[in-house]
Amino acid sequence: MLGMRPTQIVVFAVALVAAPLLATAETSKQSGAHHAPKQLTKTDVAATPSAPGWDAAYAEARADMLAGRFAAAVQKFEALLLTAPDPANRLLVAELLAACRTWAQGGFVLATPTQLALSKPMVNRRTLDELSILYGNAVLNGVFAGIVIDTYSKSKSAAGNILPPLGLAAAEAGIVALVDNTVGLRYGVAQSTVSGMYIGYEEALVWLLWHEAHYPGSDRWGDKRVAMLTWGLGTVGSLAGGIAGTFLGTTPGRAAFMGSAALWSGAVVGTLAGAIDKKSDTGLLAAGIALNLGAIGGALLGAQVSPSVARVRFIDLGGLSGGLLVGGLYWAMAGKDARPPGVTAALGIGMATGVATAWYFTRHMEEDFPRTGSAQSVMASVVPTIAPASNGAGMILGVAGAL
């Protein structure tokens, strides 16, 4: 079990072996201190009639426990405790429930001795996958910042239009490298920054479109203000996400789940509301409200289920695939009779179905929990090296480390 001391591993192993024998420990205090407690044997427990389906549910919960799915086992053992057919089984379930609840809250995972010997310590440091995503989105945000400058400068030369996006893209990538190499990004902070950025961009998009739909013909904003407001909200969202992830603690999966919950909540509610009311501003208003509620709900639910980032990507794939499938089928069957309300309703139903289906089929995927400790910067892991030159006429100086 990763993160456990040898003594804890021994206790855990003994608990798993001894759990089926806990039913034999029932004593009879009412018969007096001079009477030995009655020992329940396997035959006695088996002879006790069980409720219909209780044995199968117990076997399923025990399978989750032995597979290391402690959070799922806790839920099932809690239900079994209320329906236990006899005191012996109730005692057994209560002991297994207490153990699984402790292991789930502690973030323990099962591992073989070989995995324990080869596993790396759970360092509170961003992963390379997180860092690559952060660099990519930092470049995109920098390019958009350059486009904002282009809208203000209205340069008529190719260099004046191309150089600002290129320069700001490089500048934002340099800022990411500087922060990561000096301060050290904690585990999940990079993904939290990216999720905050996309929520900010989605906020700008939804509310700007709602303003245009609610006030047709209004030109109060203009291209410059629209571009600045969009980039500004995206940048503020990225800063808020990074700060929250640093001080509150998170994981890549939890941060990605918050962003996905905001996206699909706004998309599903917005399309369905637009199909019912048939007014674009109504659908956009509903989408804007659902976007914020989805982000809050995703943060709270993500802290409970601790999904991995891989599971969140499958959920995103389910939402996208469901919307395309149901929406495309409706359009294909309706043909020329297809109407916008019907198309948007089909899209909303498809996205909701796809997200729910992906959530169900990925429920047994490995969970991901926050890591403790301080994040070590890249510079702290750099080791200077010195070696003689191959010609024997000098020395070669260098550094070595891990990204």
217 & 158 share domain: yes
Q: Which of 62, 87, 118 is the last residue of a domain?
A: 118
158 & 173 share domain: yes
136 & 222 share domain: yes
Backbone dihedral angles phi then psi of residue 367, each to the nearest 5 degrees: -85, 165
**Which pLDDT score, from 0 to 100, does residue 5 have?**
46
Give the number of other Cβ atoms within 10 Å of residue 403's Cβ: 8
186 & 295 share domain: no
**Which pLDDT score, from 0 to 100, does residue 342 have?**
92
96 in any annotated domain = yes
197 & 135 share domain: yes
388 in any annotated domain = no
355 in any annotated domain = yes
CB 125 within 8 A of CB 184: yes
263 & 238 share domain: no
41 & 107 share domain: yes
402 in any annotated domain = no
**Which pLDDT score, from 0 to 100, does residue 204 have?**
94
283 in any annotated domain = yes
Task: Provide the number of structural domains found in the chain.
Answer: 3
Q: Which of 232, 250, 268 is the last residue of a domain?
A: 250
212 & 279 share domain: no
Give the number of other Cβ atoms within 10 Å of residue 268's Cβ: 26
CB 134 within 8 A of CB 179: no
242 in any annotated domain = yes
Q: Which two tokens stand for residue 325?
A: 């499938």
403 in any annotated domain = no
**Which pLDDT score, from 0 to 100, does residue 394 have?**
53
Q: Which of 118, 153, 179 is the last residue of a domain?
A: 118
Quote the domain boundaries for residue 287. 258-372
**Which pLDDT score, from 0 to 100, does residue 331 have?**
92
State how far the Cα of 184 lies from the Cα of 379, in Å rounded to an integer.
9
322 & 273 share domain: yes
132 & 152 share domain: yes
CB 126 within 8 A of CB 375: yes
62 & 21 share domain: yes
Give the number of other Cβ atoms within 10 Å of residue 272's Cβ: 21
276 & 246 share domain: no
Q: What are the pLDDT tens digits along the chain (403 aa)?
A: 444 444 444 334 434 444 443 333 333 333 343 344 444 444 444 444 456 688 889 999 999 999 889 999 999 999 898 888 889 889 999 999 999 999 988 888 887 766 555 455 567 888 989 999 999 999 999 999 999 999 998 888 889 899 999 999 999 999 999 998 988 899 999 999 999 999 999 999 999 989 888 887 666 677 888 899 999 999 999 999 999 999 988 999 999 999 999 999 999 999 999 999 877 788 999 999 999 999 999 999 999 999 999 999 999 999 999 999 999 999 999 988 888 889 999 999 999 999 999 999 999 998 888 887 655 544 444 445 555 555 555 545 554 444 4
Supply the DSSP string of 116-182, one letter for each residue: HHHPPP--SS--HHHHHHHHHHHHHHHHHHHHHHHHHH---SHHHHHHHHHHHHHHHHHHHHHHHHH
387 in any annotated domain = no
